[in-house]
Amino acid sequence: MGSDSSYKDKKVITIGIVRELTGLSERQIRYYEERKLIFPDRTPGGSRKYSFADVELLVEIANKIEDGVQTHEIRKEMLREQKKQNPENIRRKMIQGQLNAQFGIRNGPYPNR
C-alpha cells in the first residue's frame, strides 16, 4: 500500500460527512473556507469535497477558535508553517548549512559578535 498521505489528501468527503466527523455546522465549515483557512475542491456541480487532512485541520481550527484564537491569527500561523515547509526554503537552508560547514561558519556569518 502507498503512503498514508495519499489517501489523507484525496478530496472525497462531502460537507455533510465532515460536519458529522467534526461536530461543526456547515456554516462554520463554509466560514473557515471564506477566511481562507481551508480549501475544499469543487465538483462540476459545485459541491465541496474535503480530504481527511482537511477534517484534521478543521478540528485543529475549531480547537484554536474555542481557545480564543482569532481566524486571522490562525491564518498567519498557517502561512508561517507553510513557508517553513516550502521546498525552496528547505533547499536554501540546506545549502546555507553546507556552506557554513564548508567554511567553518557557526551561527551565521559573524560568529564572534
| Residue range 80-96, pLDDT digits in tens | 888 777 677 667 777 87
* Identity of the amino acid at 60: E
If asked whether residues 27 and 10 sit together in one domain, one would say yes
Domain of residue 94 covers 70-113
If asked whether residues 11 and 40 sit together in one domain, one would say yes
* Identity of the amino acid at 30: R
If asked whether residues 14 and 60 sit together in one domain, one would say yes
If asked whether residues 57 and 82 sit together in one domain, one would say no
Residue 27 banded pLDDT, cuts 50, 70, 90: very high
If asked whether residues 109 and 74 sit together in one domain, one would say yes
Count of structural domains, the chain = 2
pTM: 0.69
pLDDT of 30-50, one tens digit each? 999 999 999 999 999 999 999
Q: Check: CB of residue 19 under 8 Å from CB of residue 25.
A: yes
If asked whether residues 74 and 52 sit together in one domain, one would say no
If asked whether residues 63 and 75 sit together in one domain, one would say no
Q: How would you label 76-90 residue by residue, b for 16+ Cβ within 10 Å and e otherwise?
A: eebeeeeeeeeeeee
Cα dist from 20 to 31, 33, 50, whole Å: 17, 17, 13
If asked whether residues 37 and 64 sit together in one domain, one would say yes
Averaged pLDDT for residues 49-58:
95
If asked whether residues 11 and 44 sit together in one domain, one would say yes
CATH for 58 = 1.10.1660.10
Residue 18 banded pLDDT, cuts 50, 70, 90: very high
If asked whether residues 6 and 61 sit together in one domain, one would say yes
